[in-house]
Amino acid sequence: MPAGSRRRREVDNDADDDQRPRQRRTRDSSAHEDADADEAADADDEDGADVSRIDAAPTADQQLAKKLIRYAMACDYARQPIRRDGIKERVLGDQGRAFRRVFDAAQGMLRDVWGMELRELPMREKHSLEEKRRAIKAQSQAKTSSGIYVLSSTLPPAYRAAAIMSPSKTPDAEAEAAYVAFYTLITTIILLSGGELSDAKLRRHLHRLNAEDNVGTEPTEDVLKRMQAQGYVVKLVQRDVATQAKDALENTTWYVGPRAHEEVGPDGASGLVRRVWGPQEGDQATDELERKIRASFRIREAAAAAAATVAAAEGDDEATPAVDMSGADGGRHA
């Protein structure tokens, strides 16, 4: 082999040896750059997560809204009124001016998470002549709202059936169901009597129901007093104005309370009537029953049709009739 060709081959081999380390260095540097880029990306992700966690930290209003929800559930569980003054005192403290912001935030949480909302009870009606005269005199300073709230369910009617929303197990499911049925029945009787019921007539109804002495395991008088305290009924005692004697007869009249108007109302009372009468044979009999219900409770046709649809959807469920009654446990019998 000529000497010139051997020299060229040796030069080519040396050039290949020089290129291999250079290629290895290039690959090593690329790997280091990729690792640095991954570390930088991980650091950015961690920084972004930290920022999102900071952004997700609850504000002062949200903390107060959660506190308001806990207070409302505790009150409604015991069927105590949720008063605006109580919210300011027990929840807001020195942040009383933030009531509207905190209340709206709590409403949003209740609707989105719990399927409930706070509804304001209507003003207590003036029944006696003295109360009406007093209201006329103070008409310029009359309140436009009661400032008392209850928790009510916002779930669709299909999910408020008694088979789904059973009575609370505390203190006892049977006692709770009996109490719900009793105040629903008394509310229905008063509404069917034109909105007021004399004490003598109430006693006659209780006698027919075999409840003149006891409701479940409790004395009837104690249950009626509890219904008054919780706002389901209003008991009005008036002396005979025509007699000034000290032994004048007292006229006692019972009315539907603000809480019963909200939790039971004409819709719940009409549902109880449908359950008592049961399914009617033929469309004509059904239409006649619905006509009587609308006339008795002064229900609009659209609302009555919706209530009848809900009652029909429940089928032959033997539980207590569905009544729009919601509470801290998601609905006492909604």
pLDDT tens sequence across 145-166: 889 999 999 988 888 877 777 7
Looking at the fold, whether 133 and 248 belong to one and the same domain comes out as: no
What does the alpha-carbon distance between residue 223 and residue 2 come to, in Å, rounded to a whole number? 124
Q: Are 262 and 322 in contact (CB under 8 A)?
A: no
Looking at the fold, whether 137 and 195 belong to one and the same domain comes out as: no
Domain range spanning residue 170?
163-334
Please tell me the total count of domains within the chain: 2
Looking at the fold, whether 83 and 212 belong to one and the same domain comes out as: no
Looking at the fold, whether 261 and 305 belong to one and the same domain comes out as: yes
Residue where a domain terminates, one of 127, 154, 181 = 154
Tell me the CATH number at 87.
1.10.10.1200
Q: Are 2 and 9 in contact (CB under 8 A)?
A: no
Looking at the fold, whether 183 and 327 belong to one and the same domain comes out as: yes
| Structure-token match 């299909």, residue found | 158
Looking at the fold, whether 96 and 202 belong to one and the same domain comes out as: no
Q: Are 254 and 225 in contact (CB under 8 A)?
A: no
Residue where a domain terminates, one of 132, 154, 176 = 154
Of 149, 115, 144, residue with least CA distance to 262: 149
Cβ burial, residue 299 (10 Å; 0-12/13-18/19+): buried
Tell me what the mean pLDDT of segment 173-190 comes to.
92
Q: CA torsion sign, 293 to 295 to 297 to 302?
A: positive
| pLDDT of res. 316 | 47
Q: Is residue 93 part of a domain?
A: yes
Q: Of 113-117, 153-157, 184-188, which gets the smallest average pLDDT? A: 153-157
Q: CA torsion sign, 94 to 100 to 104 to 107?
A: positive
What does the alpha-carbon distance between residue 107 and residue 116 come to, in Å, rounded to a whole number? 8
Residue where a domain terminates, one of 154, 186, 201 = 154
| pLDDT of res. 163 | 74
Q: Tell whether pTM > 0.85.
A: no
Of 222, 241, 225, residue with least CA distance to 233: 225
**Higher-confidence residue: 320 or 250?**
250
Pairing of strands 233-239, 250-256: antiparallel
What does the alpha-carbon distance between residue 75 and residue 83 come to, in Å, rounded to a whole number? 9
**Higher-confidence residue: 108 or 124?**
108
Cβ burial, residue 87 (10 Å; 0-12/13-18/19+): buried
| Structure-token match 């929800």, residue found | 69
Looking at the fold, whether 265 and 125 belong to one and the same domain comes out as: no
Share of the chain above pLDDT 70, in %: 64
Looking at the fold, whether 203 and 303 belong to one and the same domain comes out as: yes
What does the alpha-carbon distance between residue 190 and residue 196 come to, in Å, rounded to a whole number? 5
Looking at the fold, whether 69 and 112 belong to one and the same domain comes out as: yes
Looking at the fold, whether 141 and 290 belong to one and the same domain comes out as: no
Q: Is residue 38 part of a domain?
A: no
| pLDDT of res. 220 | 94
